[in-house]
Structure 1
């Protein structure tokens, strides 16, 4: 004998879904309440997007100062040398932090360099003392003073 489910009569004759069917609900009029809800949700999303944009811009650091590594030499066991250029406004001073790291990216030496006002593009060659063999040297940051 076939089951009730196979006949489409599960739950007995005339069984209806517990929560009803779409035809059981009347149409809701599109009023100002629905528009207001969408407006509030849109404002929240716009504020969150603006906040995220601010975080992303702030994470880049100071965009008015850029440092570019030209070359570095980390062959000496107790020191490392770096040649880098700094691009900044000519009327402002800056401070740059140089950092030497080993194979596990552990800092083995660092030094801060003051960049004087007067020129906007300057090149430097600096030597850092290291506590162990460095494998890389980079400019960690440059900030206007």
Structure 2
């Protein structure tokens, strides 16, 4: 065992290692760090991410109109009574899509229901949907503000 080696065969950090010339290629000088370029790129990536999040929330974010299914009654042949409530801005109307499906999951009835504009923010409504077959469900798909 030599003076510069430890028992594990490693060279201690204090030893100055020199490699034979030409054997491992020429050594490169350390690259200059550019913190300004890194900072500008980081700010650009963060700004692009924030812009994408804002744009996607504008397109697909929370709507001002929300809905909730309260129940449905399919006891009468050929129709389903769907009871639901809609929360909307006061003084504005809304449109809601309702549907019914059979046991196989096929859509057997669909309608778009207009909610009138009035001063209330909560409207409870029962809509009678005509169906073509034996219904299994009554659903409210979504509500939106008309253009």
Structure-2 separation of matches of 1:120 and 1:131: 34
The match for 2:109 is 109
| TM-score (normalised: structure 1) | 0.68
Bigger Cα displacement from structure 2, 94-103 vs 44-53? 44-53
Q: Using a 3 Å threshold, how does the CA distance of structure 1 residues 95 and 25 change in structure 2: closer, same or farther?
A: same
Larger radius of gyration: 2
Of residues 31, 46, 50 in structure 2, which corresponds to 1:28? 31
The match for 1:59 is 60
Unaligned runs of 5+ in 1: 1-13
Greater per-residue helix proportion: 1
Unaligned runs of 5+ in 2: 1-19
Q: Which runs of at least 4 in structure 1 moved beyond 3 Å after TM superposition?
A: 14-18, 74-77
Q: Using a 3 Å threshold, how does the CA distance of structure 1 residues 109 and 121 change in structure 2: closer, same or farther?
A: same
Root-mean-square deviation over aligned CA pairs: 2.8
Structure-1 separation of matches of 2:23 and 2:54: 51
Checking the alignment, whether the CA contact within 8 Å between 1:100 and 1:110 is kept in structure 2 is: yes
Q: Using a 3 Å threshold, how does the CA distance of structure 1 residues 132 and 56 change in structure 2: closer, same or farther?
A: farther
Give aligned pairs, total. Answer: 125
Checking the alignment, whether the CA contact within 8 Å between 1:101 and 1:136 is kept in structure 2 is: yes
Structure-2 separation of matches of 1:135 and 1:57: 36
| TM-score (normalised: structure 2) | 0.68
The match for 1:96 is 96
Structure-2 separation of matches of 1:60 and 1:107: 27
Q: Using a 3 Å threshold, how does the CA distance of structure 1 residues 48 and 69 change in structure 2: closer, same or farther?
A: same
